[in-house]
Amino acid sequence: MKPSENIKPITYLKTSSAKLVKQVHSQKSPVIITQNGQAKLVIQDVKTYEKTQEMLTLLKILSQGVSDIQAKKKVGHETLMRRLRAKIKKKIT
C-alpha cells in the first residue's frame, strides 16, 4: 500500500492510537496523519524506520564515493588499509 493511500485525520490518532499502532506494525506500512486537511506527520514502525535510515546512510556513502571518483580523490587498497589501521589503533589507545 502506498503511504498516500493510508491517510488518517489527527482525531483518528487521538481516539484509536492503539489500533493505529497495531495496524502500522502489522502492515509495515506508514500512515500519514492530517490536521486541518493537511499532512502533518508520518507514523511508521521502528524496524522500517531503522531500515530506511540505514539505506539513507548507505546512499550518502555511495554518493560521496561517486563524488570522490569524479574528483579523482581515490587511493589504492594498501594506502586505505594503512590509514584504517592507523585510525583503529588511535581509537584503541
Tracing cell 594506502 back to the chain, one arrives at 79
Task: Please state whether the predicted TM-score (pTM) of the whole model is above 0.85.
Answer: no
DSSP string, 36-80: TTEEEEEE--HHHHHHHHHHHHHHHHHHHHHHHHHTT----HHHH
CA distance 84 to 71: 21
| Model pLDDT for residues 10-58, shown as the tens digit of each residue | 999 999 999 999 999 999 999 999 999 999 999 999 999 999 999 999 9
Residue of 37 and 75 predicted with greater confidence:
37
Report the pLDDT averaged over residues 5-13. Answer: 94
Query: Is residue 81 predicted with pLDDT exceeding 80?
Result: yes
